Structure 1
Amino acid sequence: MKFKQTLTSALVVTAVFAMGAASAQTIRIGNQGDALSMDPHSLNESLQLSVTGNVYEPLVGRDKNLNLVPALASSWKQTSPSVWRFELRKNVKFHDGTPFTADDVLFSFARAAGDGSDMRSYTNDVKEVRKDGDHVVEIETKAPFPILPDVISLLYIMSKKWAEENQATRPVDRRKGVENAASFRANGTGPFRLRERQPNVKTSFVRNGNYWGKIEGNVINVEYTPIGNDATRVAALLSGQVDVIEPVPLQDVARINASGKSKVMQGPELRTIFLGMDQKRDELLYSSVKGKNPFKDKRVRQAFYQAIDINGIQRTVMRGAANPTALMVGPGINGFDAAMNKRLPYDTEAAKKLLAEAGYPNGFEVGMNCPNDRYVNDGAICQAVAANLARAGVKVNLQAETKGTYFPKILKRDTSFYLLGWTPGTYDSHNALNALMRCVDDKGSGQFNLGSYCNPKVDELTLQIQSETDKTKRDAMIKEAFKLHADDIGHLPLHQQALAWGVASNVELVQLADNFMPFRYMSVK
């Protein structure tokens, strides 16, 4: 899959600021949040997958331009419309020395598809995974699936032997708070090993000296520290206590660039920030409305949409570092159609009228869940949305909290109204349709459709899009599915946020449009 050049050009910052020789091959990263687990199947969140992706690997990976490249599979081919054959690398070892074989692939796919896994939307259309000897795997899908290699590029392979020996055969279930050895320990095949895990304090990694592939950077040690407070994170960068921070508070970009010691790397991100609403329950869990669910009424959903001043949020909350959107995917994602990207107008009076027509002339109260340490200015976005809705007569009871408690709550669908961000892991519109807009089932379809929006025609189109190889026909189907979803007001899309990393002047790294941070490309000069 080729990727739009404007979004995949790697942004590289080269060093001029000297550093002590003793720490010349150590990178210290300060992020606003932590990976919630070292289990690669426990949370389908880009920060967690970015961190664990330095330790674990998929069959098919991505290069600096986000194009597909061989990883644990040295090659692959489609042997029939619904069967893919993967030749596995030989002489690859897990970090504990155990040889990598086809058994590990079969085990990992079954684990990712099982109870507690947050990766089931990547496996829900897989019929069977079977081996042909120790180094060949065939994946059969329920229907023709030409984008399967793209779909599994974030499904990381674990050691069957290690998982069994450490009672970690099932994923860590973030919804239930269940932990196991894979929460705190890791045994992958990747370029870095997990050295020490202190949740919410510090996680340390060390270069894998026996890695099968090439490690381009010179970094030996990586120290990853969550620093939730914006001012503290910036101060740590400017004082030299850390070498990289993410994200940079938008108000501090100019100050960091003027420091002479650090620079801000900025670029477009593929993530779309949106709001979801519970459209399934007959009565909302958190609302003043009793006996019915106002979000089942399209007029209410549209009222919420038109009450949101997205340009005001772009201007004041995001300081211009966001692109308002009407779609659940943005530029750079296959199937994105700029001609469709036209939002309904911001109109408070129209929102009030729609609410009155729906039977809520005085509005109503509703609870809203929001993280405050996951996306750029996420807490402030939710506060702005709440203020916008108040002008239309809706009182929002906002609960903003750390992602460590936020994600387990909303993943249980214990929410009425919520904010979420999504980067399609396949860089294709099918991913968003399958995970966010498809009717929910127990196999992984609609796994992150947390408000249970459902339109059978969208489901039908999603399956057709999955199998269609003719690009013109496929794009037309994607357009039709997105139009149905937009007409339904299935979600409330807000914007695509921009990337902003703070990097010490003596550090060289690669910034990718999916906001992943591969340690293998990092160097200290």
Structure 2
Amino acid sequence: MKRWSSVLCLAIMAASAAQAQTLRWSSQGDPQTLDPVSQNESFTNAFNGQIYEFLVARDKTLNLVPSLATEWQRNGPLKWTFQLRRGVKFHDGRPFTADDVVFSVNRAKEKTSQISNYANALGEPKKIDDFTVEFNLPQFNPIFLEHLNTVYIMSKSWCEEHKATKPQDFTNKEETYAAHNANGTGPFMLVTRQPDVKTVLKRNPNYWGKIEGNVQDVVYTPIKSDPTRLAALISGEVDFILDPPPRDLERLRSTQGVKVIEGLENRVVFIGMDQARDELLYSDVKGKNPFKDLRVRKALYQAIDIETIKTKLMNGQAIPTGAVVPSPIGDFNDPEIERRLPYDLAAAKKLMAEAGYPDGFEVTLDCPNNRYINDERICIALASMWAQLKVKVRVNAMPKATYFPKQEKLDTSMYMLGWGGSITDPETTFTPIYRNRGDKGVGEYNRGNFKDDELDALAAASSKEADPDKRKALIKQVFLRHNAQVHHIPLHRQFIPWAARSGVSVVHRADNWMEIQWVVVK
């Protein structure tokens, strides 16, 4: 009898240990696709980053470190040479070589890739031998390694075998093998994928690197409802949530068995406006476009009571800013660039009258409802504030899976967007957002399609200036020109606290990226 009791106890202990090594986690939205360059959306990037890897990676404090490349050197201003890690295999056993690097960089340059502007900035990759790759640049790139940290490495032969040599056209709802299947070199492997339901990963038993955490299996379940997501954490149904609502943080801090992990995110949230069309798609103004008038854009800006949004809506979990860039490091913490236009309702009304809209107008504001902290609630608050200018705003809120393809088609008159990640240099904001829309991904996220040739020329010059002081001066000119023209209406940089069961240890990074290989579940 004793023998069977001992066996039973050991079995129970073994089952408990296995359960403890499963990470069950959640957030409000789902990864948009498993194709690692089809969508440049932070959560999707971070999720794919558990499966796929870069040549250079980020450590716990966002410094660049070796990954699939072990060392590199710059051979003059227009050439880089990389030595690749030997003995690495993709999840299905295929060997990793220089052919995969050249293929992946060129694949990321395709029109259906949303990181094409970053990949094109890397120049032309060339295989020297199986473990040496050379990059030849058309012009000096001041943040070459930062750009390299955006291109995931895929297996060339796997993509060819599954007819996935080009990125998924997510905007036009294309379905590809790579959108629902994955074959990376990373610490975790895909087991099953049910979009908007559940995605399961398992630890890669043949991973080339050291995995610090103890997680063996990962179950990700998107839960859109804030109360339901919180209840799942508090009850122990999930171990971790990425996006606890700010209004519930105090409750979570005092809840037994739960902890809050604080942190500021490198992310700015702002409003964009269609400044290209002669008549807005979604407005009652016919024959003209009010957003082409700087006075209207400035009036909407000055009608925003940003402190009320910060204190009442964000519960203090936001820092208002006048600069559309993810981190103040990007503008050198320059108070002139960071300064917002003052909240001044009288001045805003005066500007509207001068522009010929004393009685306002109607317009639709497109907004995601499962992407940023309080995204839909912020849009509703803005609509209420703009009503004081007699501007009647219809808030059109939708899940990000619907929202982003709509924006990519420029099917919008006014929209919310957040921009952020691990890179604090302004280049990765300027080229996709500030510049005129062009080819090779330039201006891809200029969804208002404004054209400002002076701004475009300054931003382009800052992208290739080799002298640090001259580049800093150009960067400041870009910000000041953009701010003066109110091409976007900045709101705030959001805090991004995480919440977990007390036995879960995670590393909080400012790019809101949870690296599962560092997680310990007790």
Q: Shared topology, TM-score over 0.5?
A: yes
Counterpart CA distance in 1 for 2:150 and 2:203 is 21
Residue 477 of structure 2 is aligned to residue 474 of structure 1: no
Map 1:427-466 to 2 at 5 A.
427-466=424-463
Aligned counterpart for 2:386 among listed residues 377, 384, 389? 389
Which ranges of 4 or more aligned residues in structure 1 deviate by more than 6 Å?
none
Counterpart CA distance in 1 for 2:422 and 2:148 is 9
Preserved CA contact (<8 Å) 2:294 2:486: yes
In the alignment, what sits opposite 1:148? 144
CA apart distance, 1:71? 1.2
Residue 511 of structure 2 is aligned to residue 518 of structure 1: no
In the alignment, what sits opposite 1:347? 344
Counterpart CA distance in 2 for 1:154 and 1:514 is 13
CA apart distance, 1:356? 1.5
In the alignment, what sits opposite 1:14? none
Larger radius of gyration: 2
Question: Comparing 508-517 with 78-87, which one deviates more in the overlay?
Answer: 78-87
In the alignment, what sits opposite 2:265? 269
Aligned counterpart for 1:364 among listed residues 348, 361, 367? 361
In the alignment, what sits opposite 1:488? 485
Preserved CA contact (<8 Å) 1:306 1:348: yes
In the alignment, what sits opposite 2:168? 172
Preserved CA contact (<8 Å) 1:425 1:431: no
Preserved CA contact (<8 Å) 1:273 1:420: yes
Map 1:146-225 to 2 at 5 A.
146-225=142-221
Counterpart CA distance in 2 for 1:84 and 1:450 is 33
Residue 333 of structure 2 is aligned to residue 312 of structure 1: no
Question: Comparing 465-474 with 483-492, which one deviates more in the overlay?
Answer: 465-474
CA apart distance, 1:106? 1.4
Amino acid at match of 2:502: S
Preserved CA contact (<8 Å) 2:62 2:422: no
Counterpart CA distance in 1 for 2:513 and 2:251 is 25
Q: Secondary structure at the match of 2:147?
A: helix
Aligned counterpart for 2:371 among listed residues 364, 374, 396? 374
Residues 3-51 of structure 1, C-alpha deviations (whole Å, 9 max, x = no match) = xxxxxxxxxxxxxxxx943401011111111001111011101100000
Q: Secondary structure at the match of 1:421?
A: strand
Counterpart CA distance in 2 for 1:98 and 1:70 is 21
Aligned counterpart for 1:328 among listed residues 304, 309, 324? 324
Residues 330-364 of structure 1, C-alpha deviations (whole Å, 9 max, x = no match) = 54534333312111111222212111211112111
In the alignment, what sits opposite 1:6? none
Residue 84 of structure 2 is aligned to residue 73 of structure 1: no
Counterpart CA distance in 2 for 1:185 and 1:295 is 43
In the alignment, what sits opposite 1:40? 36
In the alignment, what sits opposite 2:120? 124
Residue 95 of structure 2 is aligned to residue 99 of structure 1: yes
Map 1:17-32 to 2 at 5 A.
20-32=16-28
Preserved CA contact (<8 Å) 1:123 1:444: no
In the alignment, what sits opposite 1:87? 83
CA apart distance, 1:466? 2.3
Amino acid at match of 2:341: L
Question: Per the alignment, do residues 64 and 254 of structure 1 end up closer, same or farther by CA in structure 2, a change over 3 Å counting?
Answer: same
Counterpart CA distance in 1 for 2:220 and 2:482 is 39
Question: Per the alignment, do residues 470 and 127 of structure 1 end up closer, same or farther by CA in structure 2, a change over 3 Å counting?
Answer: closer
Residues 302-331 of structure 1, C-alpha deviations (whole Å, 9 max, x = no match) = 111111111111111101100000001254
Counterpart CA distance in 1 for 2:131 and 2:424 is 28
CA apart distance, 1:141? 2.1
Q: Secondary structure at the match of 1:349?
A: helix
In the alignment, what sits opposite 1:419? 416
Identity of counterpart residues, as a percentage? 50
Amino acid at match of 1:121: N
Amino acid at match of 1:27: L
Counterpart CA distance in 1 for 2:505 and 2:35 is 28
Q: Secondary structure at the match of 1:427?
A: coil
Preserved CA contact (<8 Å) 1:153 1:426: no
Residue 288 of structure 2 is aligned to residue 292 of structure 1: yes
In the alignment, what sits opposite 1:400? 397
Counterpart CA distance in 2 for 1:419 and 1:331 is 18
Preserved CA contact (<8 Å) 1:151 1:425: no
Question: Per the alignment, do residues 21 and 425 of structure 1 end up closer, same or farther by CA in structure 2, a change over 3 Å counting?
Answer: closer
Q: Secondary structure at the match of 2:120?
A: coil
Counterpart CA distance in 1 for 2:466 and 2:294 is 34
CA apart distance, 1:91? 1.1
Question: What TM-score results when the alignment is normalised by the length of structure 1?
Answer: 0.94
Aligned counterpart for 2:506 among listed residues 490, 506, 509? 509
Amino acid at match of 2:362: E
Counterpart CA distance in 2 for 1:361 and 1:458 is 30
Amino acid at match of 1:480: Q
Instruction: Give me the CA root mean square deviation.
Output: 1.4
Question: Per the alignment, do residues 74 and 332 of structure 1 end up closer, same or farther by CA in structure 2, a change over 3 Å counting?
Answer: farther
Amino acid at match of 1:220: Q
Counterpart CA distance in 2 for 1:495 and 1:465 is 25
Residues 56-83 of structure 1, C-alpha deviations (whole Å, 9 max, x = no match) = 0111111001001111111121112122
CA apart distance, 1:474? 2.2
Counterpart CA distance in 1 for 2:447 and 2:185 is 33
Amino acid at match of 2:506: L
Question: What TM-score results when the alignment is normalised by the length of structure 2?
Answer: 0.95
In the alignment, what sits opposite 1:249? 245
Counterpart CA distance in 1 for 2:156 and 2:428 is 28
In the alignment, what sits opposite 2:7? none
Query: What runs of 5+ residues in structure 1 fail to find an aligned partner?
Result: 1-18
Query: What runs of 5+ residues in structure 2 fail to find an aligned partner?
Result: 1-14
Preserved CA contact (<8 Å) 2:434 2:459: no
In the alignment, what sits opposite 2:6? none
CA apart distance, 1:426? 2.5
Amino acid at match of 1:407: F
Residues 439-492 of structure 1, C-alpha deviations (whole Å, 9 max, x = no match) = 110211111111123322322222332233443332222111100000111110
CA apart distance, 1:296? 1.1
Q: Secondary structure at the match of 2:164?
A: coil
Counterpart CA distance in 2 for 1:53 and 1:333 is 25
Question: Comparing 416-425 with 230-239, which one deviates more in the overlay?
Answer: 416-425
Question: Per the alignment, do residues 424 and 469 of structure 1 end up closer, same or farther by CA in structure 2, a change over 3 Å counting?
Answer: farther
